[in-house]
Structure 1
Amino acid sequence: MAIFHSSGLADEADFDSLDQRFWWQATGPSLSRLLALSGYTDKDQQSHIHWYHQFITAALGPRPIAGTKLLFQPCPVFDGSACELSINFKERSPERTVRFTIEATGHEAGTNADPFNQDESTRLLQSMVGNVGGLDLHQFNIFAEKLFFSPEDAAALLPHVPQGTPLSQVWLAFDLLRGGDIMAKVYFMPILKWIETGIPTKDLVFDAARRCDKHGSYERPIQLLDDFLCEGVAPPVVEMVAIDCINSLDARIKVYLRTDANTLGKARHLLTLGGRLSGELVEQGLEALSELWPVLFCLPEGTDIDNIEVFPAGSYCGCAVEMKPDREEPETKLHIPVRKIQGTDAQLCESLSKWFKQRGHTEFSAKYKENLENVFPHHDLERTGGTHTFVSFSYTKRAGVYMTMYYSTKIFVTSLKVDIWEGYDNFWRQRKH
């Protein structure tokens, strides 16, 4: 068993390889600090850090070596960092949940044996069965069968993938819960399968979702979402899908939409799926979003907040549509690319702190920037942006305002000059659904 010190660091002897040691040094200390600053007990911190050391550092693959090009470029973060940390804020709870997202990367990723880096994610999840309580791969296996490629089919497809398009097929995310439990989620990108088959991404995703009928049918929310995606001249497109790796009636399938939402008015349209979602709870959420919007984007009083464009040209909010089996309606969540907001991370901290104070979380507000500086001591929040990547927003009966702040670990870069996700932007600009 690895021994972890009060600093959150492990002994060098605890690592099986130089790669594993590199990934721990690049990501482990920040995760340790985030857990501590988010109020986890010492026992929970030790449990989660031991698990992270045991499973995750080895799954991040080959370490970067100066002057050597990686065979495969993971891209769970726009700047090429292999790990994105996040904290979840619930308005009606003092507790915050720490999360992280990675692209598990095998040493054969990018070779003829595994051109699209599918194998390591499968191996990692299978190795966790029996070690992570409640982990269930039923939905993962259905989506993997639908969207993954054999090495031969991947090799045949490669010449047809537009240059610069990321080749990632799957990302993994984990919620580190109180009591030491862990919740696993998987994110699939259906773009490459669309290129191969010509089948629209929404149809690929909906077909797989309909097969996930272990606890009931997803048909009703699928139909409602499909109706929304078929309306208008340039409707949103399905860019990604995520599944919960649990055996439960509450297992979600989350469909992520690429949209043109760059104003509050368009964001409201998204959250209601064009008016298809309504009711008191929806109205409360829209009211809270309307209060957040001018704070987050520093809009002066008197601004037409409904219609002013808040992002540079070509940048938009995303939307996650969360479906559960045998539920009549889905829930929606707005994903705001705050890295696109002009200014520094320190300025964004100021806006978020103002918002948290407004919602009654005075202590969290006062320490937000200080905590972020402690988590990422090598980031210069005062001079640059890009530590914050996204802020998600939704409103639920249980939590009230429900937000997640996502952070790049900035492993490879210290500025915004690199944006691997431009490959996705170029792809969607050149193709029409």
Structure 2
Amino acid sequence: MAANKVIDLIRNAGVVGAGGAGFPTHVKLDAEVDTLIANGAECEPLLEVDQQLMKYKAREFVSALADARELLGAKKAVIALKSKYKEEIASINKVLKDYQQIEIFEMENFYPAGDEQQIVYEVTGRIIPEGGIPLMVNTVVINIETLVNVNKALKGKNLTEKYLTINGEVKNPQTLKVPLGTSLKKIIDLAGGATVKDYKLIDGGPMMGKLVNIEDVVTKTTKGILVLPADHKIIIDRSVPIENDIRRSVSVCCQCRACTDVCPRNLLGHSLEPHMIMRGVAYGIDTDKDLFTQADLCCECGACDTWGCPMGLHPRSIIVEVKKQLAENGYRREDNPEVDSVHPMREYRQIPVSRLVSRLGIKEYDSHFPFSDKNVEIKRVELPLTQHIGAPASPVVKVGDLVKKGDLIAEIPADSLGANIHAAIDGKIKSLGKSIVIER
């Protein structure tokens, strides 16, 4: 199939990165590199989407990986996953005998192994420049679930469904497939309901996930929903107002630099020093722009919070707020300097996931779950027009229209970065706004 035809199919299907910020996949694959990495590390505790897709959907994602390698002109494709994924490795190896120029790279069980800057260094030995992307070192990184969606797109199937793990205080933790736009309340119901009365929800994993409401919905980047007691430490830490975090930082931070010592980006040799940002917040971002624009290098992994600070402060929250203020004031880093070498202690400061799970207080939820590929019947979906990096999609339907699952309902604005959105169920358009609501 011609390269432009492949790109068009992926673009038209609305495929974006299945986790993280949701970068449009048709843009990522419109390049030339020598190495393509399939990211199967899935370093967040309690989530198993990519692990289970590697086990149960190996043929689909490897086929898409081969197509993507050819599209990029890459000399090789590498499936990077943790060596502890024995069943997944066995499943993939059964498929790889039918493919060439694809290999497996086994990683240790450390956090955050799935950060694309970490995975590029582990696989290739190349250090991405500060604030840069894998393309700068002749590499592209793509998520396992994203590859499954690429495989569907190349068969003419638009993106209408999402795999996610529902875990925590629910009766039946599991990984399942649901229509995009499904309410989180329905997700909890599908898992048998909550096992505690007073709970909060996190969209994502316990380290990088965000607090969400039960009225929120599944989007293209939802990897998991964690149901935790309202008084769990993870919930309490996420609930601290930023004003309180700043006051505590100014008054309590002892400048021990433990947050910097465990920062994965600092250990890659990048000039990000969280303890210095913690020191500077008392004076405001106007006082030292060079210092505060370090914040743009942060991947928001939370290692500085959970594994670093002995005072119980939240450097990650401070840095996220600094990023926000930098954007509001139009401040940004001027360049992307290259990095010569990683920190000499990097190998010894990687965070063991098993110990991280204990420190987070989530060991009781850390087990393997059933995987279901069954279609779930949903009567109502709400599809946000922004489920990706870039401009919101523009509706191409009106209230009252009847649509079928897979129909285009919102498209990328002309010459804009973004992704198309398709009907996730058969039904009628009930409302338009920042989201499109469809009911059967």
TM-score by length of 1: 0.28
TM-score by length of 2: 0.28
